[in-house]
A and B are shown apart, each in its own frame.
Chain A
């Protein structure tokens, strides 16, 4: 006998959409991924009722983790309100009765995200699941998966490092903007998904568990809490996050909330002038809430 599912009469789906066999497969892979930080554990990915680009890998993780008392937040490119994020949230609400969703980083227990890690530091009570289009950072230097597996096993990343070397030779700096290769616990190098460099340091010594799911490549990997995550760099050419200073060297601020220490999206108006705004919409809202009462007070 396998797990009795708790399908409900008014709900055509199994709770969490996936059948219990599929969940077990994903769950076993998750535990091995945590036990071997940064290693891409293969698993049998199930067909999901949405396009692959939609983040089915991340979704399968979320659905295997989720319980009825979960509070879920879905982010796409930093925003909770994009079509993608809304659709995913609705899918979760529909297939996981009892689960509540939120846009507030402070309230959620489980985050499914694409392209961003929230600005607000996550806590030990939270898990973040990142959707990954291309899980293997070695694919740019080695087409054969068998050979890549050997290179990963031996932590032989010299050919990847040569790419960085060549980058510095050509451009005087490392030009990778997203998917910055990051070494976990001194061994495996991961593709941290298309998050900006800004978010990469958040993986290091995080209080929360970070899980990565690649649906097409059928891989799961993890950065456990309190684990060393080092972006690849040279000792004399250190890793740097995005620079948001203007021509005068001043840190640009969010046009909406005034924040000067968040990752900013650039908007170009029809007139050609540029404005900047927090990419993390929930963070921006939080900053506004804190600032508003002050502004509201009469002098």
Chain B
């Protein structure tokens, strides 16, 4: 039996550690292409985090039909899913769960696929927990509406959403605590 690497426990452990680093250090770009054997980063993250306990929304049809049974996640609406996968090139046309004061962890984790993490015309200046002073992040292929919508979603800490942006091989996290200033504008 030849099982794709991302479904194997040792790869998932490594992807998870990259996620820990990514969420601990917002704006820090994590390269996972090597350990996943070139599998798409968003898929590798889903393989690492999903199981039958989780609800997953796929409003933009990112997930291949064959992957659903492997992920085991329950398909859910964007308004109620704990995890959402989205195409960042499109405007976010949904309202994710923000959690509650008592249980902010119910605020969704949104996996956003974009063209490029680390280079691009959109330049963000980040600050907040996990960032030593300030950090700059360049992105390509993120629809401009995302940042405005995110600002609404994370306006009432501890409620909010946690974003994980990815391209083919790289990850970068923008948890709800990260303060973002747009310092260079994409066209």
Do A and B have CB atoms closer than 8 angstroms in the complex?
yes
Seen from chain A, the residues whose Cβ lies within 8 Å of a Cβ on chain B are 1-6, 14-16, 20-21, 23-25, 27-32, 34-37, 39, 41-42, 64-68, 124, 127, 146, 149-150, 153-154, 185, 187-188, 205, 209, 224-228
The reply on B80 being an interface residue by CB < 8 A is: no
| A35 CA to B47 CA, complexed, in Å | 20
Given A4-B3, A15-B9, A67-B14, CB of A154 within 8 Å of CB of B101: yes
Q: Are B158 and A187 closer than 8 Å at their CB atoms?
A: yes
In B14-52, the 8 Å CB interface with A consists of 14, 16-17, 19-20, 23-25, 47-51
| A6 CA to B3 CA, complexed, in Å | 12
| A257 CA to B178 CA, complexed, in Å | 43
Cβ-neighbour of A150 out of B10, B14, B102 (below 8 A): B102
Q: Which residue of A lies closest to B72 (CB)?
A: A2
**Most A C-beta atoms less than 10 A away, residue of B24, B49, B103, B109:** B24
12 contacts between A and B (CB under 8 A): A3-B8, A24-B51, A27-B49, A31-B19, A35-B173, A35-B175, A35-B177, A36-B177, A127-B20, A185-B177, A205-B132, A225-B130
Cβ-neighbour of A226 out of B102, B130, B157 (below 8 A): B130
| A14 CA to B103 CA, complexed, in Å | 32
In B157-187, the 8 Å CB interface with A consists of 157-158, 162, 173, 175-177
Q: Are A227 and B130 closer than 8 Å at their CB atoms?
A: yes
> Shortest distance in angstroms between A60's beta carbon and chain B's nearest beta carbon?
14
> How big is the B interface, by class?
35 or more
> Shortest distance in angstroms between A223's beta carbon and chain B's nearest beta carbon?
8
Q: Are B105 and A1 closer than 8 Å at their CB atoms?
A: no
Given A21-B51, A149-B103, A227-B130, CB of A187 within 8 Å of CB of B9: no
Given A27-B16, A36-B158, A209-B24, CB of A153 within 8 Å of CB of B101: yes
Q: Which 10 pairs across A and B sit closest by C-beta, in order of nearness? A: A153-B101, A35-B175, A227-B129, A149-B102, A32-B105, A3-B9, A35-B162, A34-B23, A224-B130, A226-B132
15 further A-B pairs in the complex, CB-CB below 8 A; given A2-B7, A27-B19: A4-B3, A6-B10, A24-B53, A31-B49, A31-B109, A34-B23, A39-B105, A64-B16, A127-B20, A146-B102, A153-B101, A209-B20, A209-B24, A224-B129, A225-B25
Q: Which residue of A lies closest to B47 (CB)?
A: A3
Given A224-B24, A226-B129, CB of A36 within 8 Å of CB of B105: yes
| A250 CA to B102 CA, complexed, in Å | 48
Chain A residues with Cβ below 8 Å from B103 are 149
> Shortest distance in angstroms between A54's beta carbon and chain B's nearest beta carbon?
23
**Most B C-beta atoms less than 10 A away, residue of A32, A35, A225:** A35
Chain B residues with Cβ below 8 Å from A32 are 105, 109, 162
> Shortest distance in angstroms between A213's beta carbon and chain B's nearest beta carbon?
14
Q: Are B14 and A4 closer than 8 Å at their CB atoms?
A: no
> Shortest distance in angstroms between B33's beta carbon and chain A's nearest beta carbon?
18
The reply on B131 being an interface residue by CB < 8 A is: yes
Q: Which residue of B lies closest to A68 (CB)?
A: B10
| A2 CA to B72 CA, complexed, in Å | 8
Given A1-B69, A150-B102, CB of A34 within 8 Å of CB of B20: yes
Q: Are A153 and B158 closer than 8 Å at their CB atoms?
A: yes
The reply on B12 being an interface residue by CB < 8 A is: yes
The reply on B147 being an interface residue by CB < 8 A is: no
Chain A residues with Cβ below 8 Å from B130 are 34, 224-227
| A59 CA to B98 CA, complexed, in Å | 30
Chain A residues with Cβ below 8 Å from B25 are 124, 224-226
> Shortest distance in angstroms between B91's beta carbon and chain A's nearest beta carbon?
24
Q: Are B9 and A36 closer than 8 Å at their CB atoms?
A: no
Chain B residues with Cβ below 8 Å from A3 are 7-9, 12, 47
